[in-house]
Amino acid sequence: MSYLDKLLEGVEVEWKTLGEVGVFTYGYAAKAQDVGDARFVRITDINSDGKLIPVDAKFVDVSDENKRYLLRKNDIIMARTGATYGKTMIFEEDYPAIYAGFLIKLSFDKHIINPKYYWHFAQSNFFWIQANKLVSGGGQPQFNANVLKEIKMPIPCPENPKKSLEIQAEIVRILDTFSELTAELTAELTAELTARKKQYEYYRDKLLNFNELPRGGVKWKTLGEVAEIKRGKRLIKSQLEETGKYAVFQNSMTPLGFYHESNVQADTTFIISAGSAGEIGYSNVDFWAADDVYYFVTPRNLKSKFLYYFLLIQQAKITGQVRRASVPRLSRTAFEKMQIPIPSPEEQARIVSILDQFDTLTNSISEGLPKEIALRKQQYEYYRDRLLSF
């Protein structure tokens, strides 16, 4: 922080409207018959992070009429309507492109504004607090050039353009570093998660493949023979609570709500039969199963967690039996005659112990991934607002 304090020490800042420092132009309204060599950049080509999505793009001709809509490297464009409205992108490509009419190109005097400095500002609360007050409502929010002209941004040392650009460049360097670190960490954690999932699935399939055993090495029975299949009981919406002791599962693995009673004991495997039909779950705590849930009451010689892991490797077969209608549905006949191996309780316990360790490791990475990303984004946002507040 001492470095930041020194960087910003004594810096005079003037908050100027974008209309004072920039020029805004709408893009090209493509025609159905347009075809050519320049990529046509549409609003749907920009994701929520302001990045260009590698999609099957439309291409248009660079005629004299639409040359003014050409994008050059480091040009800034912003989505002005739709789900991505306000998202700002720096065009970092080298190939010719033309931007669509639902985009606005922001042109700044390069002797006054560093384009990447503006990009970081456009992600900040300083931008969005102003923008949300000015943006038009209606069916879908949208910006226009007049709205942008009213937004103010901080210009350090406006009386000394050279010094101003030096400070802007240093702010960009610091914030780019945080952005790059977040991207690198995300890539590393994602790769680790993918590797662990593959490792987990390999050992799960290997441990639960009893077909290679000699005949008589393990008993096989139908699921309906070895376990009691029960259906949950419906609760109406008014009976559900926002918080409570017992989760209520209805048509997905996300609880529909909570209830003050349970109808299924802990250590139970269950299957969703409508909505997200075919999804397989296991709960180590008591819960309430609604009428779109089948759950299994297992005998002493069949561990419920072993059943859960075995059903996971049968997931494709089970979901293949789902009736696709307005609401996907799965009947109990889709799995009650499914053959399941019954090894000794000791062997079941050994397999469950191994798979639990892989599951814990995979989930810890999976849960840690969004947490780490969120922390890095918070760190970036903190320094961005700190630097832009001067």
For each of the chain's 390 residues, which pLDDT tens digit applies?
577 777 777 888 999 999 999 999 998 887 767 778 888 888 888 876 777 887 677 788 877 777 888 898 889 999 888 777 888 999 888 888 888 888 999 999 888 999 999 999 999 999 999 988 877 666 677 777 788 889 999 999 999 999 999 999 999 999 999 888 888 887 888 888 888 888 888 988 888 888 765 545 688 999 999 999 999 999 998 999 988 899 999 999 999 999 999 999 999 999 999 999 999 999 999 999 999 999 999 999 999 999 999 999 999 999 999 998 788 999 999 999 999 999 999 999 999 999 998 888 777 777 777 777 778 788 888 888 888 887
pLDDT at 215: 47
- The secondary structure of residue 142, as a DSSP letter, is B
CB 315 within 8 A of CB 280: yes
pLDDT at 213: 53
Q: Is 390 exposed, middle or buried (0-12, 13-18, 19+ CB in 10 A)?
A: middle
Q: To 10 degrees, the CA torsion angle through 96, 99, 105, 110?
A: 0
pLDDT at 335: 93
pLDDT at 260: 93
Q: Residue 330 and residue 117: Cα distance in Å, rounded?
A: 54
User: Given CA atoms 112, 116, 119, 123 in this order, what sign does their dihedral have?
Assistant: negative
Q: Which helix (H) or strand (E) holds 382?
A: helix 345-389
CB 71 within 8 A of CB 97: yes
Name the residue with tokens 């702010």: 171
